[in-house]
């Protein structure tokens, strides 16, 4: 059996929604301190619905495929639904990831949550803090803004 599914290879070689949204309503950046991979997610939000999403991932193929798939899963969806997206659902949508690569899909889940939290924070919207557990992101892993 191939290590990676066709869907993983497809989303890795032809990732959807890559890029940056200049006037994003929410931006989430997360990283994995162990492997050093970083993911940044940009959301456009209207009436609590994600109308557009883009990402930049500096990381492994599984992280790129996971971010690509995750953006497809949340585009056009209400925030409440995007918040329920788990890394397991992302991995399943990719027809699976090798066990040692599951942590890559966690970045996608965390990046979306971080972007939604950023939107809530910027707009003074109250939320349940337990929905946003602390992640691994570290300052030194930040992208430099151009
Ligand atoms: Fe770190 Fe994939 S190896 S996100």
Average pLDDT score over residue span 67-83? 98
Atom of ligand 1 at shortest distance to CA of 34? 1
For residue 23, what pLDDT is reported? 98
How far apart are the CA of 67 and the centre of ligand 1, in A? Answer: 11
Q: Are 104 and 63 in contact (CB under 8 A)?
A: yes
**Measuring from atom 4 of ligand 1, which residue has the nearest CA?**
104
What pLDDT sits at residue 135? 56
Q: Which CATH class is domain 6-124?
A: alpha beta
**Residue 107: CB within 6 Å of ligand 1?**
yes
Cβ atoms of 57 and 39 closer than 8 Å: yes
pLDDT tens, 101-141?
999 999 999 999 999 999 999 999 999 888 887 754 444 44
**Lowest mean per-residue pLDDT among 3-12, 16-25, 56-65, 128-137:** 128-137
Write the pLDDT tens digit of every residue in 86-95.
999 999 999 9
Q: How confident is the model at residue 59 (pLDDT cuts 50, 70, 90)?
A: very high
pLDDT reported for residue 138: 43
Residue 111 C-alpha to ligand 1 middle, in angstroms? 14
Catalytic residues, by residue number, are 35, 104
Looking at residue 107, its pLDDT comes to 97
Q: Is 35 in the pocket of ligand 1 (CB under 6 A)?
A: yes
CB 66 within 8 A of CB 91: yes
CA of 79 to the centre of ligand 1 (A): 26
> Looking at residues 53-62, what average pLDDT do you find?
97
């Amino acid at each position: 059996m191939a290590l990676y599914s066709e869907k993983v290879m497809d989303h890795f070689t032809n990732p959807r929604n890559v890029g940056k949204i200049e006037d994003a309503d929410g931006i989430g950046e997360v990283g994995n301190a162990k492997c050093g991979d970083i993911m940044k997610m940009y959301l456009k939000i209207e009436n609590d619905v994600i109308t557009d999403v883009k990402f930049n991932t500096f990381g492994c193929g599984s992280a790129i495929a996971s971010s690509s798939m995750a953006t497809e899963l949340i585009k056009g969806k209400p925030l409440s639904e995007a918040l329920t997206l788990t890394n397991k659902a992302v991995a399943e949508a990719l027809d699976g990831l090798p066990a040692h690569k599951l942590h890559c899909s966690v970045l996608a889940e965390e990046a979306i949550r971080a972007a939604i939290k950023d939107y809530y924070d910027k707009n003074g919207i109250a939320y349940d803090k337990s929905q946003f557990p602390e992640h691994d992101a570290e300052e030194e892993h930040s992208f430099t803004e151009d």
